[in-house]
Amino acid sequence: MSLLRRVLGIGAAALVVIGVPLAVIPGTILERVLGQRPLGDDVWVRLFAIALIVIALFHVLIIRKLDDVWWWCWAFVIFDGVSAIVVIVHAAIGVPEGSAAWPWWLYGAVSGLFAAGYVVGIARAGQEKPFV
């Protein structure tokens, strides 16, 4: 359970570190830091940021009851795995003219690593505390 606990904690921290600035100053983060084209309406980015913060809270809830609900982490495997696929495809074929591709590649790689970390953590947790 210790690996899964560690991955969940790091994931929660990463989601908050990404989500809070995106919620507060989305235009600055997207345009100046990440090199994306200017957005007309940044409400979608703010909503995404709030969702990241809420997902971080779910990480913390699962950490607190990990011995009983370790298998709930499959939701994070799905979230991070599908996110990785979507953003990697976007980076490969869909980045608009004038926008940097590196943030998308980075997001995809990190999401893929988290999905793998959750899978390994779930596998170890399943050996420690199998379903009965």
- Are the CB atoms for 18 and 106 separated by under 8 Å? no
Residue-wise pLDDT tens digits, 81-123: 999 999 999 999 999 998 999 999 999 999 999 999 999 999 9
Residue-wise pLDDT tens digits, 20-79: 999 999 999 999 999 998 888 899 999 999 999 999 999 999 999 999 899 999 999 999
CA distance 80 to 66: 19
Residue 91 is encoded by which pair of tokens? 């980076």
CA distance 90 to 36: 13
Q: Cite the DSSP H helix spans in the chain.
A: 2-24, 26-27, 43-64, 66-69, 74-93, 102-128
